[in-house]
Structures are given as C-alpha cells and as structure tokens.
Homo-oligomer: A and B are copies of this chain.
C-alpha cells in the first residue's frame, strides 16, 4: 500500500531551475550569487528559480552561517532540505537484495538486507516489493513522501525503457522491471545498471562532484567501470559501456569465462583471486575474505596474487585514462578491502601505462560499504525526480 502521493511535481520547470537545484544539491550551501557564478546564470535568473523551490520546501535558507569575511550585505546561503523528500534504492545481486531509504541528499536513513533464494523474476519481484513496503512503512516516521524508487541490477539495462535486457547473474532476459515494480509499489521506478547507478551517486554526491570527466572503477566480484564524459554518464550506443572487466591485460594469462585469456576480471576479480591463491598456496580458501586473511597473515604466495591483481587493475585504469583523459579515476568496490596489498602496484602500473598528460589523472580510492550499491540506485531515483519535470 503506497503511503505517499506521487503526484506532486518538482517545481523546476525550466532547465535553468533544474540546474540551480542540482548545483545547490552537489555543492552544499551556496549563496545566490555563488549559484549564479557556478551555473552560469544571472543573479535575476537565480532569484526566480530559487523562490518556488523554497516555497515548495526543497530549498531552505541556511541559517547556520558563520563566515562574515567582508563588507556589505551578508550573503544569504540556501541549501537543500534533505528531509523534504525520501527515496528508496534497491540493489539486486545474485544472492541478496539490499534496500535503503535515503533523503533527498542521498543520505541513508534506513537499510535492509534480504537473502535471495530464487532468482526468477517473479520471486525477486515479490521479495523486492516486500522490502520496499517495509521501507515505505518506515518512511512514515520521517514525515516526508517517498518520491521514487531506484533499482540497480548488474548487466545490460535499458534505463529509458526500464527493462533489464540481460543479466548474467540473475539469468534474466528482457524483464520490464520498472513497470512491474511500479505496479506493486505504486512508486515511480528508475532501473539502471549497477555501476552506472554508482557513478551517478559519485557524480552528484561523491568524489565526482564538479568534475565533467571522470571514471569510476569497481573492484570486487567483478571489475566494472562507469564513465562520465562531458558531464554525462556514458551509456553507449547499445546501452552498454564501461566493460572494463574484459580488457585483456595479458594474452598469456589465465582463461576467462568470456573465452579470452588474461582479462582483468580473470586476474583481479574475487573468484580469480581465490582460485589463484588456492593454486599458488595449496590452501583451500573458498572466498575472498579467506584469501585476504591468508595474505594479511604474510603468506607470500597469496601476496603475490594480490600484487599481480594490482598490476592488472593499474594497467586497466591506465588504458581508461589514455582513452578518455579523465580528470580523476575513483577506485571503489568490496575488493578495496585488500587495498593495502595492491595499492602500490595499482599506482605503479597506472603510472607506467598512462601516456603523457593522461598521467596527470588523479587516482582516488573510496571505501564502499555494501549499502552503497543501493544508495547508487537511490541516486538514480533522485536524478529522475529532479529531471522529470525539467524536460518540458
């Protein structure tokens, strides 16, 4: 039973108003003249865009000002009132559903996990709907409406259509997930690829704020990459981009399930690391945590595996940097737990692979609590909400 009226329109009818809001959302409290400067608008335009946003409660005057650096009338900063609207983000993995309730600033208010027993669309839909309903119930306590639901799934996702075209982990083909979840939850649903969702979260709320060209590389069960070029997340002509996992690092390397040898994913993803550690050390580790522990305990064979993984990741990032010239590459993912083991190799291999000015690219690591994937999904919902009324 949906608890909130989804009919409320976001009062940013014009591109400029939408841009003003996003500017404030990303860059914290800003005075009106700062907004104009950053968004390239006149002060008058800012005033006209800000007023309805304040009246609707999405922006508030930031009373907690402190800096009074100079002469003249004091500036009057505004900020986004995160509590004005809520969103739900859901990440569906092969064996778990993670759901978070966030506010408009994409801060997590509540998080829930649920193990996944069956992977067919019907079962997943039931569980996901259940989880969303729980969060909707929680949302009542915050006194703000839930304005959207974002869903992140790995694989080939058509965001515009809301369809999961192909998901290897779930073995789904052409599932109209947005429509289905829209019916069961009554919410406006945005479905996107998981890495792209995380990229949106970084772009608006993370280490990509203010950058028009950056990449996000995730290391974990797989190796993924999200790209932002000219300030927009790249989706590719066929809806798929950022497939860094199957960049071949070494044609003589271990075989990969994709049919090639020596893909990054066949060297540096969790399963590959586990297999390599087992082979090198003879210890029957079964998951990434065990492999990591072995390495942390000082086993040289295990450490060598991580060294090689770092080298592969660094080379892959170098390739990305050479092709795009991003200002920054953000490294994230569960695999970052092993960062101390391969940080040096990543940086060395990147520095060797990056050519010319591409080496100026800034490498930045970001720890990734597992809820973060679901937060990325919420970020896409927030994006859809803000843009929904912007495009005419």
Query: Which A residues fall within an 8 A CB radius of B?
Result: 156, 166, 211-214, 225, 227, 229-230, 232, 234-252, 258-260, 315, 319-320, 322-327, 352-353, 355-358, 360-361
Contact B325 A358 (CB under 8 A): no
Task: Give the nearest-CB partner of A227 in chain B.
Answer: B323
Chain B residues near A315: list those with CB within 8 A.
Answer: 248
Contact B252 A353 (CB under 8 A): no
Chain B residues near A327: list those with CB within 8 A.
Answer: 237-238
Task: Give the nearest-CB partner of A352 in chain B.
Answer: B260
Chain B residues near A357: list those with CB within 8 A.
Answer: 156, 236, 238-240
Inter-chain CA distance A352–B234, complex, in Å, is 23
- Within 8 Å by CB of A320, from B211, B213, B323, lies B323
Contact A243 B322 (CB under 8 A): yes
Contact B353 A241 (CB under 8 A): no
Task: Give the nearest-CB partner of A325 in chain B.
Answer: B236
Known: A227-B323, A258-B355. 18 other contacts (CB 8 A): A166-B356, A227-B324, A230-B230, A230-B232, A234-B325, A235-B325, A236-B324, A236-B358, A238-B360, A239-B325, A240-B356, A241-B323, A242-B323, A243-B325, A246-B322, A248-B319, A248-B353, A323-B324
* Most chain B CB inside 10 Å of its own CB: which residue of A230, A232, A239, A248: A248
Contact A247 B322 (CB under 8 A): yes
Contact A250 B251 (CB under 8 A): yes
Closest CB in chain B relative to A217 CB, distance in Å: 11
Given A251-B249, A319-B319, A234-B229 contact (CB < 8 Å): yes
Inter-chain CA distance A248–B235, complex, in Å, is 25
Contact A238 B325 (CB under 8 A): yes
* Most chain B CB inside 10 Å of its own CB: which residue of A166, A229, A250: A229
Closest CB in chain B relative to A250 CB, distance in Å: 5
Task: Give the nearest-CB partner of A260 in chain B.
Answer: B352
Inter-chain CA distance A211–B234, complex, in Å, is 15
Inter-chain CA distance A249–B260, complex, in Å, is 13
Closest CB in chain B relative to A105 CB, distance in Å: 26
Chain B residues near A247: list those with CB within 8 A.
Answer: 319, 322-323
Contact A236 B326 (CB under 8 A): yes
- What would be 29 A-B contacts, judged by CB atoms less than 8 Å apart? A156-B357, A166-B356, A211-B237, A213-B237, A227-B323, A227-B324, A230-B230, A234-B325, A235-B325, A236-B325, A236-B326, A236-B358, A237-B326, A238-B361, A239-B357, A240-B357, A241-B325, A243-B323, A243-B358, A245-B355, A246-B322, A249-B251, A250-B250, A250-B251, A258-B355, A260-B352, A319-B323, A323-B323, A323-B324
Task: Give the nearest-CB partner of A236 in chain B.
Answer: B325
- Within 8 Å by CB of A355, from B213, B243, B356, B358, lies B243
* Most chain B CB inside 10 Å of its own CB: which residue of A213, A357, A358: A357
* Most chain B CB inside 10 Å of its own CB: which residue of A212, A237, A246: A237
Inter-chain CA distance A156–B359, complex, in Å, is 13
Contact B260 A353 (CB under 8 A): yes
Contact A356 B156 (CB under 8 A): yes
Contact A240 B353 (CB under 8 A): no
Given A237-B327, A249-B251, A322-B244 contact (CB < 8 Å): yes
Closest CB in chain B relative to A148 CB, distance in Å: 24
Chain B residues near A241: list those with CB within 8 A.
Answer: 323-325
Chain B residues near A232: list those with CB within 8 A.
Answer: 230
In the complex, the 9 A-B pairs of residues with the closest C-beta atoms, listed nearest first: A236-B325, A237-B327, A243-B322, A241-B325, A238-B357, A213-B237, A246-B355, A240-B357, A229-B229
